[in-house]
C-alpha cells in the first residue's frame, strides 16, 4: 500500500489481520514519517524506534500463528501504533512532563490507561510534547521547545496536549493519549482539526498520570474518527483499585455501526457560550454544525448555564491550589536533577527556582496564596462553593436536554508568541472548556469547519455523567454526513 499512515484505525487493524501489510511495515511507515516531519513540528519529545520495531516483529509472529489457527482471539489493538503525552508514565521511557525538573526521570511502572492499551496489543511510538506539567493552552510552556500546528507552522497547536493533537493531525500516530484538566484535549483537538474526548471524571484511572489538579485531571484520547476514539476509550475505561476516584460501573461496548436516530435527541445551546469578541467564523461554523444536527432530526433549544462567567476565576483558584500541593514533591531530592547547595533548604530553593518554568512558578504561587492562612476561606473555600453552583447548572440543564453543544475556543489557533507576555489572554482561551472539568461531565471535540486562513474549527458536545456513548453516536452521525474530519494538513 502506498501510504499506510493514511489508514484509519479500523482499516489498519483489518489490513494487519488480512495480511495486506505487516505490523513492521506499519510501524516503519510511522517512524519514517516522524523522522521526516517532526524535526520541524516537535510533536514528540522521545521516540523508541528500536523497541517499537521489536514489538512489531512479535506482533507479526502472533498474527502469523493466528492465521493458522483463527479460532483463537487476538488482542483488539494488536500491532497498532500509539503516541502518549509525556505526563503519563510508560515504564522504561522518559517522563519529563515538559519540565527540566524531571529531566532524566524514567518511571518503573506504566500508567493504568497505558497498561490497558498495551495489554490490548498497542505499540507505543513515543512520548509527545506538553506544556510544563500540563499548565498551558498552547504547548509554548514546554522546557523542550514549542510544538507547531501542522496546518500552519507559525501557529500554536493548542495545549497542554498539543504534541498529541499535532501528532494525530500530521499522521505521526493514528491515535494518541492526552490529558484534560481545563480543556487540554478539546482545545488542541479544535486547533489541529482532529477529534478528542475528555471522559467523565472517575471513568478512566489517573494512576500513573503525573498530577496537576487532582480533582480536575482526566486521561483523554485523540483520533480522527469517532470509531477510533470510542475503541480506545472502551479499552482504557473502568474501575482501578489503584485510583480511589474511579467509579465501579460497567463499561458498555460501543458499536457505532448501528443506525443512529437523532429524532428524539434534545440539544441545548448555552447562550453564555457565545460571547462578544468571538471570532465570527468560529461562531458561524458552530451554529452551522448545530443546524446540521437539527437537519438530521435533533431538536435544538437555547439554554442557560448562568454561572459560566465564574468558571475562569474558580478554575484559576482551585487548579493552582491543587498544583501547589502536588508539585511540592519536586525538590531535587527524589526525582530528576539536583543542584548543589550548602544546605538542604538551599538545594530545594535552587533546584525549584532554576528548573521550574515561569508558568509553573506563577501557578504554584497563586495556589499557595489561595491556600494560605487568612485567605483559604476567602479564595479557595469560596471557589469550591461556586464550583458546586456550576455543577448544579449542568445537572439542571440535563433534566431538559440530552446534550449541550458549544464552541471550544473563542478563536482558531493563534500565532506562536502572541499571548506569551499576557497570561490572562492565555487563560481566556479556556473559557468554554473549563466548566466541564469543574462539573466533571464528559466533553467530546470534533472538527466542524475552517476559517478564512484555512485553520480548523472544532465544536464540543457535553453530556451528563458517563454518557460518553451518546456523545460518540451524535458526533458519528455528524461525521457520516460531513467530511471535515477527513481533511488533512
pLDDT digits (tens, 9 = 90+) for 392-437: 999 999 999 999 999 999 999 999 999 888 888 888 889 999 999 9
Q: What is the pLDDT of residue 2?
A: 56
What are the two backbone dihedrals, phi and then psi, of residue 146, each rounded to the nearest 5 degrees?
-80, 140
Q: What is the pLDDT of residues 143-152, one digit of tens each?
A: 999 999 999 9
Pair 139, 146: CB distance under 8 Å? yes
Cell of 141: 510552556
Residue 379 has which C-alpha cell? 479564595
Active site residue 22: no
The pLDDT confidence band at residue 72, using thresholds 50, 70 and 90, is: confident
List the chain domain ranges.
8-236
Predicted local distance difference test score (pLDDT) of residue 427: 83
Q: Which residues have C-beta within 8 Å of that of residue 154, sequence separation ≥ 6?
A: 148, 415, 416
What distance in Å separates the CA atoms of residue 339 and residue 330, rounded to the nearest whole number?
Answer: 12
Q: Which three cell numbers stand for residue 146?
A: 514549542
Query: Each residue of 439-476: pLDDT tens digit?
Result: 999 999 999 999 999 999 999 999 999 999 999 999 99
Question: Are 406 and 337 spatial neighbours (Cβ–Cβ below 8 Å)?
Answer: no
**φ and ψ at residue 416, rounded to 5 degrees:** -60, 130
Active-site annotation holder among 99, 137, 160, 164: 160
Q: Which residue has the cell 477529534?
A: 195
* Catalytic choice (22, 85, 137, 195): 85
Quick: pLDDT tens for 347-398. 888 999 999 999 999 999 999 999 998 899 999 999 999 999 999 999 999 9
Task: Tell me the whole-structure pTM to 2 decimals.
Answer: 0.97
Is 99 considered catalytic here? no
Superfamily of domain 8-236: Amidase signature (AS) domain (3.90.1300.10)
**Reading across the β-sheet that carries 266-270, which strands appear in turn?**
44-47, 123-128, 81-85, 176-180, 218-223, 195-198, 443-450, 456-463, 403-407, 266-270, 299-303
Active site residue 215: no
Could you identify the residue written with the cell 460518553? 468
Cβ(43)–Cβ(172) below 8 Å: yes
Annotated catalytic residue: which of 22, 184, 190, 205?
184
pLDDT tens for 286-329 read 999 999 999 999 999 999 999 999 999 999 999 999 999 999 99
What CA–CA distance (Å, rounded) separates 181 from 184? 6
Measure the CA angle with vertex 23, ends 20 and 25; round to 5°: 80
At 1, is the pLDDT very low, low, confident or very high (cuts 50, 70, 90)?
A: very low
Summarised one tens digit per residue, pLDDT across range 197-215 is 999 999 999 999 999 999 9
Rounded distance between C-alpha atoms, residue 489 and residue 413, angstroms: 14
Query: Per-residue pLDDT for 58 more than 90?
Result: yes
Q: With bands split at pLDDT 50, 70 and 90, how would you rate the model's confidence at 345? A: confident
Q: How far apart are CA 273 and CA 433, in angstroms?
A: 10
**pLDDT tens, position by position, 3-43:** 999 999 999 999 999 999 999 999 999 999 999 999 999 99
Give yes or no for a contact between 102 and 88, defined as CB atoms under 8 angstroms apart. no
Cβ atoms of 39 and 153 closer than 8 Å: no
Residue range 234-253: mean pLDDT, rounded: 97
Amino acid at each position: 500500500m502506498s501510504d499506510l499512515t493514511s489508514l484509519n484505525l479500523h482499516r489498519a487493524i483489518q489490513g494487519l489481520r488480512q495480511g495486506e501489510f505487516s505490523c513492521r511495515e506499519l510501524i516503519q511507515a510511522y517512524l519514517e514519517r516522524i523522522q521526516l516531519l517532526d524535526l520541524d513540528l516537535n510533536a514528540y519529545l522521545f521516540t523508541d524506534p528500536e523497541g517499537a520495531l521489536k514489538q512489531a516483529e512479535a506482533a507479526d509472529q502472533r498474527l502469523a500463528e493466528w492465521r493458522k489457527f483463527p479460532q483463537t482471539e487476538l488482542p483488539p489493538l494488536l500491532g497498532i501504533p500509539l503516541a502518549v503525552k509525556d505526563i503519563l508514565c510508560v515504564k522504561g521511557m522518559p517522563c519529563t512532563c515538559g519540565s527540566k525538573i524531571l529531566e532524566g526521570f524514567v518511571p518503573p511502572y506504566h500508567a493504568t490507561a497505558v497498561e490497558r492499551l498495551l495489554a490490548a496489543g498497542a505499540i507505543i511510538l513515543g512520548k509527545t510534547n506538553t506544556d510544563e506539567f500540563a499548565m498551558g493552552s498552547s504547548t509554548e510552556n514546554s522546557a523542550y521547545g514549542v510544538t507547531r500546528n501542522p496546518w500552519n507552522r507559525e501557529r500554536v497547536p493548542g495545549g497542554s496536549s498539543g504534541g498529541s493533537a499535532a501528532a494525530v493531525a500530521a499522521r505521526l500516530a493514528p491515535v494518541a493519549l492526552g490529558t484534560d484538566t481545563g480543556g487540554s484535549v478539546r482545545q488542541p483537538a479544535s486547533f489541529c482539526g482532529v477529534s478528542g474526548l475528555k471522559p467523565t471524571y472517575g471513568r478512566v484511572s489517573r494512576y500513573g498520570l503525573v498530577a496537576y489538579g487532582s480533582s480536575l485531571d482526566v486521561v483523554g484520547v485523540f483520533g480522527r474518527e469517532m470509531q477510533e476514539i470510542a475503541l480506545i476509550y472502551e479499552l482504557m475505561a473502568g474501575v482501578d483499585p489503584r485510583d480511589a476516584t474511579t467509579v465501579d460501573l460497567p463499561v458498555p461496548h460501543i458499536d457505532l455501526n448501528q443506525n443512529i436516530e437523532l429524532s428524539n435527541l434534545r440539544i441545548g445551546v448555552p447562550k453564555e457560550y457565545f460571547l462578544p469578541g468571538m471570532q465570527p467564523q468560529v461562531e458561524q461554523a458552530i451554529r452551522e454544525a448545530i443546524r446540521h444536527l437539527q437537519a438530521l432530526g435533533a431538536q435544538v433549544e437555547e439554554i442557560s448555564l448562568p454561572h459560566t462567567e465564574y468558571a475562569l476565576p474558580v478554575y484559576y483558584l482551585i487548579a493552582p491550589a491543587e498544583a501547589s500541593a502536588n508539585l511540592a514533591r519536586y525538590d531535587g531530592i527524589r526525582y530528576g536533577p539536583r543542584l548543589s547547595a550548602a544546605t538542604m533548604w538551599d538545594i530545594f530553593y535552587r533546584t525549584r527556582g532554576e528548573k521550574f518554568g515561569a508558568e509553573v512558578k506563577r501557578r504554584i504561587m497563586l495556589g499557595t496564596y489561595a491556600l494560605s492562612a487568612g485567605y483559604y476561606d476567602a479564595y479557595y473555600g469560596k471557589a469550591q462553593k461556586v464550583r458546586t453552583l456550576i455543577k448544579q447548572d449542568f445537572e439542571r440543564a440535563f433534566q431538559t436536554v440530552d446534550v449541550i453543544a458549544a464552541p471550544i475556543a473563542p478563536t482558531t489557533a493563534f500565532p506562536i508568541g502572541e499571548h506569551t507576555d499576557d497570561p490572562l489572554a492565555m487563560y481566556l482561551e479556556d473559557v468554554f472548556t473549563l466548566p466541564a472539568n469543574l462539573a466533571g461531565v464528559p466533553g467530546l471535540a470534533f472538527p466542524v469547519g475552517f476559517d478564512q486562513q484555512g485553520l480548523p474549527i472544532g465544536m464540543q458536545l457535553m453530556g451528563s455523567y458517563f454518557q460518553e456513548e451518546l456523545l460518540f453516536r451524535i458526533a458519528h452521525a455528524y461525521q457520516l454526513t460531513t467530511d471535515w474530519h477527513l481533511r488533512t494538513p
